Structure formats: C-alpha cells, structure tokens
A and B are shown apart, each in its own frame.
Chain A
C-alpha cells in the first residue's frame, strides 16, 4: 500500500510539475510574443518619427536655401540696375560667381537668350524644358522662382536654379548652385537610407517597401525584391497584424506599419524572440524540480507518518481479528480520524464477539436439550425391575462436553428374556446423536419382534446401511439372557469385548472374535455365541470412553488398567452399581482434571439365578 501511494503521489507531483511547466511555457511564450511585438512597434514608431523629423528638416533647409538664393539673385539684379555696363565686361559673370558663392550666373534678355554667363552665353532658354520654366516670368517685374533641385550630369549631383526679374529691363537674372546642405539633408531624409539606422534586437531590422517592393533594408541583397516572393501578399501587409514569414531561410516575426506610400515592416528572428523565454523556462525547470522534489518527499513522509503507518497497524489488527482473535483491539491514536476508526472497529468487533457468544450460548443450550432428550431415552431408573431377583443390572453414562453417540439399553422381551445393548456411534455432535437414536430404536424393535441376536444385528445393519450418506457406523454389543436357564446369547459388532467374571474367578475378556461394525457393509452376516451364566457370574460392558480416557500427559487409561482394577481384591466382588461407581472414580483419579473427550458408558449385569437372593 505504501508503494501504491508513493506511485500515485509521484504521478500527481509529476503531473503538477508538467502542468506548471506547460503553463509557464504558454505564459512566457505569450509574453515573449507580446514583448517582441511591442519592441517592433516601438522601432516602427521611431522610424516613422524619424521620417517625419527628416522631412521637416529638409523643409526648413529648403526654405533657408531658397531665401538665400533669392537674396543672391535680387542682389545681382540690383547690381545690374545700378551699373548696366557690367554686362559688357568680360569675366564679370565669373567674378560674380565667386562673390555670390554660386556656381553659375546667367543673365537672360527679353527674348529668353542668355546674354551674359561664364559658360552658356547665347543659350536659348526655350531649348530645354528645365530652363524653359523660367521664361514664364518674362515681363513680370515681381517674378521670383526657385526651381526644384534636381540631379544633374554624370554623377547626378543635385543642382538648383533660382531666378528673379531683371530690374534694368525685361529679362531674368538666374543663378545656379549645388545646394549642398539641402542635398545632404535630403539624402539623410531619403527614406531608402532609413533602414540602415534601425535595428530591432540583435538581428532584427526594418524593411521598407513601396508597392510591394523592398526599397530599403540593412541587407542589401533584399533590395528590389518583391514581398510576395516571400509569400507575403499585400493583403497581409494591409491588415497591420503581426505574422510569421521566412526570409532568406530565417523565420521572422513580422509586423507591418503603413506610412503611405510606404509600408514599414519590422522583422525579428523567431529564435531571438524566445531567447529570454527559453532562459526563463530553464530556470523554472530547475527551481521546480527542486521544489516539487521537496514537496514529494515531504508529503510522502508526512502521509506515511500520519496515514499509512496507521493503516498498517489497523490492517495488522484486522488480520488478527480475521484469524479469529476477537480480543484484539485496534489502537491507532495518531489523529482524530484514526481514533474514530479504531473505536469503530473495536465496538464492531466487540458487538460481533457478543453476538457470537450469544449464538454459541444458544447452540450450547440447544445441544443440552438434545442431550437431555437423548439421555431421557435411556432407562435410568434403578432397580429397573424391582420384582426380578434373578439378576442385578446397573448402567450409567457419563457424557463428555460434546454430544456423543454412546448408549446402553436393556429391556425384557418376555418374562424370561432380558436384552442388554451397549453401543458407540462413530463421530460426535447432532449427527451422531440422531444416528444413535435410530440405531437404538431399530435394535429394540427387532429384538422385541423375537429375533435372535445374530438376526437382530444382521437386519439392523442392513437397515442402517441404507441412506447412510454420512458413512457413520456403530460398534455394538447385544446379548439376550434367558433368565430361567442362564443362557446368554450374544453378538458383537466391533465393540469392546466385555469383561466376564465367572463366580469366584477373575475378570477376563470374552474371547469370541467380534463381527464387523454396524452400518459399515450391508452384506455383513453376524454370528452369535452362547455361554451359560451361573449364579454369581458378572458381566461388565463398557465403551472406549474408558480405555481411551486420557490424562494430562496424554497417556491412555488402557485395557490392562481396567482389567487389573476390576480384579483388585477390594473391587472384584462389587455388585454392578458399586462397580460402576468405583470404576468412574478410578478414571477420574487417572484423568486428573484432564477434560473428558468422549462419553463413558458402562453396564454391569450379575446373574443370580434362583439360587442367590
């Protein structure tokens, strides 16, 4: 039972351990996911803020650059107004370029032709779309125009033109310059360079896509690739929800953010997401192993102390009780439940004991009644035939505690014939008692019908063999005394040979060979023997209760003891009643309080004939 309990406890603790682990894993995973998404969101917000900031910077620099350029152009127009002749000076435009810190100076006349320039004199502004834009201002005295900066030449460097109306005549003053700061700011603000500035965690980054194509990424290999080549459709991006995708063989957690016309996608390797979770789980496993181990040992120890040893004691007592020791008390007092259990068992056992004792007492009572009925069927009135002086008869039965099957009987068949019977039914208890009654009645009936002793036993045996399922048998001795002649005809069915004392001689056993027991085999034929009794002759019949009476050390009373006692000088001449009494006394002395195991039955018959009164 201790093993079983520990097995279940271990199962339970292991279950709790796994459950806790699963729960921690689930919570930590959720936490890791949510943290990762927060991290990506944060970075995406930063990126968007950076974009906005950059845009504002570019705008500020643009305004500054524009106003500076306009101031320079206006100053140039003023110089020409005050001194128109400068236009004719060779080298003037070059000088002005240096003074104004610009790269080109062009003076355009009313026809849109460059009249003064360090590099393009005579150029018709109408011949190019870019330069043509400025001609819209011809004739407008308030014309001021800063053209969009645009890449130019082989290296596509940003270049800008600004122009204002001439103040001296119709025409335009135009300056051209590299807007370095603006270009720098614009380059900085270029969204396509933005991704370089952002990392998410250690290996995460931001992808910037436009129309589903990657336009900015730390990993240059990705530039220009289409998102759907990674299985990411524009619909997924527009949902703004996190998703997983495998890019270049690495699995990422991805979160899109729309910043029109771009979609920024924060990506974080899944491995990295779970680094801290895995560490957490490792430490939880470690600490839980120790914790649950302690819980297991503690519970196992406590339950063993509080419950199992108690149950062990209770079980041991219950085993003793089951084996029949109803005096066993259960006494486990380690806690109130066991006290109540112990008391409950004790009172149940005690009630059971009382019930058994009561039943036993009832059965004893009934057996006593049975015994009384059995004994009352035996003749116990002595002298039984007070007017018959030809013989003296006495008999006694001393019953053992348990009901036995001994009996004796004697009755007159007619005026001249006395029948005596002594018998012992094998076995004990009610079956033996019932079989004894049957045997006794049957023998008496057969005897009273006038049969000879041999006929009586032969017939009785046959009847007793019928329906003898219990295979009981009877040893019996029957004799019929013809009173007038002293002829004693007897038959012995396996019974103890009687002791015979011919007058003035010693007791000795009748030497006739006994026949087979009654109720053994239905084919048994009994033979009878005749002897003649003379006045003074005495017969002593008994059952094996005498010869097998046992003393404290287990020794048997024995045949020789009986014969010697009967032949002792003070006993040898006792009449039947006295003889039976002294034999009983002698047996009691021998037994010395050892319990009597079997019925003791004796019958003594003295033949007096007509000679002795």
Chain B
C-alpha cells in the first residue's frame, strides 16, 4: 500500500492505493498519529484502494472518532467492493462518503 499525503493549512488529503489490511494498517495509523495535529479537515481518497480489512476499518474508526472532536472527515472515491464492506459493517452510518 502507498500513502500519499498533501497538506494545505488545516486541511489534510490522504490518497491510499493498494490493500489496507492487517499488514499495512499500522502504517496508516502511525501516519495519522503524527499528522493529525491541528487538522480540522481530513479527506481520504480511496479510488486506488483495492481491499479493506477489519484492521483497516479499525484505523478508519479511530480517525473518525478523532475528527469528530476536531473537525470533519470525508472519504472520496469509494469503489463498489469497499462500499459493500462499509455497508456490511454499518460504517456507512458513521462515515461521510462522497
């Protein structure tokens, strides 16, 4: 998985490509831990993400919880496979997917 970051003031855009699973989720978690300071607008671009496991959901949940406190989180480019996962796990209720 590749993580591409772009920061503009208090807005952080993260583009993920590949698989977000047990192996790669800790990378994203570390990245978020170090980058979310003073961010009030977090945008994920999932258009190149092919797979999302429960470990990935856990990181997303944690990011959502944090952004609930300090701003907003929006996910772009969610493909069908990943949308199914979001629906099956009820994540569509808590995530803002555009």
Contact = CB atoms under 8 A, between A and B. Distances in A.
Interface of A: 424, 426-428, 471-473, 475, 492-497, 513-517, 520-521, 524, 544
Contact of A514 (B22, B54, B57, B90): B90
B24 to A, nearest CB: 15
Contacts of A493: 90
A564 to B, nearest CB: 17
23 contacts: A426-B54, A426-B57, A426-B58, A427-B54, A427-B55, A427-B58, A428-B22, A471-B62, A473-B57, A473-B58, A473-B61, A492-B90, A494-B88, A495-B89, A497-B88, A514-B87, A514-B88, A517-B61, A517-B90, A520-B61, A521-B61, A521-B94, A524-B93
Residue picked from A427, A495, A521, most chain B C-beta under 10 Å: A521
B89 A514 contact: yes
Nearest to B62: A471
Given A475-B54, A544-B54, 12 more contacts: A426-B55, A427-B54, A471-B62, A473-B54, A493-B90, A494-B91, A495-B88, A495-B89, A496-B88, A514-B87, A520-B61, A521-B94
B54 A516 contact: no
Contacts of B57: 426, 473, 517
A75 B35 CA distance: 142
Nearest to B59: A471
A517 B89 contact: yes
Contacts of B89: 475, 494-495, 514, 516-517
Interface residues of B, number: 15
B20 to A, nearest CB: 13
Interface string B65-95: 1000000000000000000000111110110
Contacts of A521: 61, 65, 94
B93 A515 contact: yes
Contacts of A544: 54
B58 A516 contact: no
B61 to A, nearest CB: 5
Contacts of B54: 424, 426-427, 473, 475, 544
Contact of B90 (A428, A472, A515): A515
Nearest to A426: B54
Contacts of B65: 521
Contacts of A514: 87-90
Contacts of A517: 57, 61, 89-91
Interface of B: 22, 54-55, 57-58, 61-62, 65, 87-91, 93-94
Contacts of A496: 88
Nearest to A518: B90
A475 B61 CA distance: 14
A516 B91 contact: yes
Secondary structure class of chain A's binding surface, majority of residues: loop
Contacts, number: 53
A473 B61 CA distance: 10
A427 B87 CA distance: 20
Nearest to B61: A520
A513 B84 CA distance: 11
Contacts of A497: 88
B25 to A, nearest CB: 10
Contacts of A424: 54
Nearest to A559: B84
A471 B94 CA distance: 16
B88 to A, nearest CB: 6
B55 to A, nearest CB: 7
A307 B35 CA distance: 49
Contact of B58 (A428, A471, A513, A515): A471
A497 B65 CA distance: 26
Given A426-B54, A427-B55, A516-B94, A471 B88 contact: no
A424 B53 CA distance: 13
A82 B54 CA distance: 167
Contacts of B91: 494, 516-517
Contacts of B90: 492-494, 514-517
Top 5 nearest A-B pairs (CB, nearest first) are A494-B89, A516-B90, A426-B54, A494-B90, A514-B90
Contacts of A513: 87
A187 B25 CA distance: 120
A493 B91 CA distance: 10
Contacts of B87: 513-514
A471 B61 contact: yes
A472 B55 CA distance: 9
Contacts of A495: 88-89
Contacts of A471: 58, 61-62
Contacts of A473: 54, 57-58, 61
Contacts of A492: 90
Nearest to B89: A494
Nearest to A548: B53
Contacts of A516: 89-91, 93-94
A92 B6 CA distance: 148
A403 to B, nearest CB: 14
A424 B90 CA distance: 14
Nearest to B92: A513
Residue picked from B55, B65, B90, B91, most chain A C-beta under 10 Å: B90
Contacts of A475: 54, 89
A514 B90 CA distance: 5
A331 B90 CA distance: 59
A520 B94 CA distance: 10
A378 to B, nearest CB: 21
Nearest to B84: A559
B52 to A, nearest CB: 11
Residue picked from B55, B58, B91, most chain A C-beta under 10 Å: B58
A514 B57 CA distance: 15
B63 to A, nearest CB: 11
Residue picked from B55, B65, B87, B89, most chain A C-beta under 10 Å: B89
B79 to A, nearest CB: 15
